[in-house]
Every structure is written in structure tokens, then in C-alpha cells.
Amino acid sequence: MTVTYRNLSALPPPIGLYSHVARAGNLAFFAGMAAIDADGRIIGKDDLEAQMRAMYTEMGDALQAEGFTYSNVVQMTTYLVREQDIAEFYRVRELVYQELYPDGKFPPNALLIVSRLVDPDLLIELQITAAGD
């Protein structure tokens, strides 16, 4: 099976040596997305809800650029920096999921608490795998 790697013009350039997405057959593996604007600035510094909403929007743009929607997501991994934000994470995710998954069919998600992300002002990051027909 051939694997292809792409960077998406709909997203800020990668901040390291990686690609935004790898495709293998009907699967797409998306790099971690966080609340970073087109100029590389953090969106919503110290505001988990703002960062989450920006993160889900950025991932939605990445999915769309590859011909997917959130209904194609088969696995999510969420990285959260502050343990004290777990309740807020669940509150905001419930609000966002009402928009992303109105049918109530949610993909599997692992929530990992980490000591920090690539930029110390980032509070959360999302990595996904999607599948198409």
C-alpha cells in the first residue's frame, strides 16, 4: 500500500519536520491540531474554551481539505495540559459535539494529560484518524 504525505494550504505551515496528513488507502492520519492562527500565533491564550473551539475548527478545515467531515473520524486522541481543566474540557466538548455530531454518534477518544505541548501557551491538541469510502 502506498502512503502519501501532504501539507494543507488551508492550515498554517507545520512548525516542525512533519506533514499535516498521511493517506494510506481509505485512511487519513492527521497531525495534532491546536489553536494556532495563520501567522503562527496562539489563539485564546489561557482560555481553554477558545483554544478548543479554534482547534476543532482547524481540524474541520483539515478534514474538509482531504474530502472528509467529522462523520469520517474513527479515532481521536486529545492532549490536555492541565489536569484541573478536565471538567471544563468535558463541558466545552459537549457543546461542540452538539454541532459536530448532531446524530449522537461519537468516535472513540483517548484523553491524555501531558506536562506541556510544543508551545507552553497551548492548553490542548487534537490528533485524529479518518476513513473514507
Residue 79 C-alpha cell reads as: 492532549
pLDDT digit string (tens) for 87-101?
Answer: 999 999 999 999 999
Which residue do the cell numbers 448532531 mark? 102
- Domain range summary for the chain, segments of one domain joined by +: 3-131
Strands 73-80 and 109-113: parallel
Q: What percent of the chain is predicted at pLDDT more than 70? A: 100
Residue 133 pLDDT > 80: no
pTM of the model: 0.94
Which CATH number applies to 3-131: 3.30.1330.40, 3.10.20.30, 3.40.1390.20, 3.40.50.1110?
3.30.1330.40
pLDDT digit string (tens) for 33-78?
Answer: 999 988 889 999 999 999 999 999 999 999 999 999 999 999 999 9
E strand or H helix at 30: strand 27-33
